[in-house]
Structure 1
Amino acid sequence: MERSLKAEDKIAQINKVVQAYFDNNSNIDWIPAKQIMPELVKEGVFAKDQKKGLPLRKVLRDLDQKNVLDTIPLLHVERTDKAIYWYFVKEGAKFPENTAISTVSKKEKAKTIRENTDEFYIINLCDEILKQKASRKHTFSWLFGDLHKKGKTRTLLPLAAFYEDLNLVIEFADNKNKTEAQQVKLEALTASGVTRGVQIEKYNKRRKDMLAKKAINLSVIDYSLFETNNKNRLVRSKTEDVIVLKKILKKYL
């Protein structure tokens, strides 16, 4: 149940939760305000979420009307003729100019999310170390998944990165520390009649076997070799991470 908080106490709690979010997600510089709602509900600031962040938006609108938005230091506001968009920005970080989530296409949103992943970060470092740019999510015409539900088509299996000049594919080892939500997804059945988890193992083996058959080098990178935070995300200490990667890729340097 939502605690009966005075207005100033609620603001203090919001600030505390937002700061904790950025402390625990050091690789993230900004987020839409609605993304913090699960944490606010968890901490009892709000009883539940409604309409993707409505309880929080009500508080922010009230502060805006009273001209005291500065009581939430990490809040960033984008205004258009038709709407107001609320964001939280980590202290010391800058919000991208002219960025409003509602005006960004789904393709651009997906690109932004993908570029913020640990996988993308590691491959960026590999590009620097190998002095080549990888083909990301690379596919080969001879590497594909099982037949789809109708039994007529199959999807090509993507590979994390392919360096053509080095004849090298980079993949990532399966992360064993799954969240409850991730574990539930792995237990869901696929069109092949096996669970998603079993299918992933099957496809990983198929990648390995087919790459070996085609005499293509494969290097599998294990996230556990790098420093992570309590959310199991990479801390992204570039100097140390480069040292680890150079050991992994020394054969190709």
Structure 2
Amino acid sequence: MPGSANSDESYVLDLTDDLLGERASRQHRFDWLLGDPSSSGNRRKLPVDGYYKRHALVVEYHERQHEHPVPHFDKPDRMTVSGVDRGKQRRLYDERRRELIPCHGLRLLVIRAGDLATDSRGRLHRDQQADLVVLSKMLKSFVLLG
């Protein structure tokens, strides 16, 4: 569950907060990052996992369902406002983030579960020392670390 204090996403953002010396705005929504229109024509703002304003950086943590089909999350038998199942909509919205975030002067860092040590189900081992090393290397290409 995104934003849950015990989620892998929160764990990764907490480590990133420590490395950057800035707390991310969690589940941040920009006025210009919108989902597809609903039947009433309304468009919801899409959240990003973490926004580091001082660093002009958006961090997205991609769990297994961002990379591989997972029926529990994809809900293949239910259509979304986009006219596709949740898995396809997730891919569309991930691509929208990749396209629009840089257009607004921000950098996007996508951290995949597989970038860190995981179990066979894609859950993080949460080895803080090892994970900090990996995240530090990833962040160095985006920002200057102290």
TM-score (norm 2): 0.87
- Work out which of the residue numbers 177, 181, 190 in structure 1 matches 2:72: 181
- Work out which of the residue numbers 57, 78, 103 in structure 2 matches 1:213: 103
Return the offset for 1:225: 1.5
**Equivalent position SS for 1:143:** strand
CA deviations on 1:196-244 (whole Å, 9 max, x unpaired) are 1211111111111111211211111011011112332111010000000
**Map of 1:146-161 to 2, 5 A cutoff?**
146-151=36-41, 153-161=42-50
Residue identity (%): 35
RMSD: 2.0
CA deviations on 1:154-197 (whole Å, 9 max, x unpaired) are 110000000001100001235235544234x1452112212212
Aligned equivalents of 1:198, 1:225: Cα separation in 2: 23
Q: Note if contact 1:135-1:161 (Cα within 8 Å) is conserved in structure 2.
A: yes
Please name the residue that 1:119 is paired with: 9
Aligned equivalents of 2:121, 2:89: Cα separation in 1: 26
CA deviations on 1:15-58 (whole Å, 9 max, x unpaired) are xxxxxxxxxxxxxxxxxxxxxxxxxxxxxxxxxxxxxxxxxxxx
Aligned equivalents of 2:119, 2:33: Cα separation in 1: 35
Q: Note if contact 1:132-1:163 (Cα within 8 Å) is conserved in structure 2.
A: yes
TM-score (norm 1): 0.52
Structure 1 residue runs of 5 or longer lacking an equivalent are 1-109
Query: Which structure carries more strand by proportion?
Result: 2
CA deviations on 1:84-122 (whole Å, 9 max, x unpaired) are xxxxxxxxxxxxxxxxxxxxxxxxxx89x8111000000
2:46 matches 1:192:
no
One-letter code of the match for 1:181?
H
**Equivalent position SS for 2:78:** coil
Q: Note if contact 1:173-1:220 (Cα within 8 Å) is conserved in structure 2.
A: yes
**Equivalent position SS for 1:160:** strand
Aligned equivalents of 1:180, 1:197: Cα separation in 2: 8
Higher RCO (CA < 8 A, seq sep 6+): 2
Aligned equivalents of 2:121, 2:109: Cα separation in 1: 25
Please name the residue that 1:82 is paired with: none
One-letter code of the match for 1:234?
L
**Equivalent position SS for 1:221:** strand
**Equivalent position SS for 1:249:** helix
One-letter code of the match for 2:13?
I
Q: Note if contact 1:187-1:196 (Cα within 8 Å) is conserved in structure 2.
A: no
Which of the two has higher C-alpha Rg?
A: 1
One-letter code of the match for 1:119?
E
Q: Note if contact 2:117-2:125 (Cα within 8 Å) is conserved in structure 1.
A: yes
Cα 1:122–1:174 change in 2 (3 A) is closer
Please name the residue that 1:169 is paired with: 58
| Count of residue correspondences | 141
Aligned equivalents of 1:136, 1:179: Cα separation in 2: 24
Structure 2 residue runs of 5 or longer lacking an equivalent are none
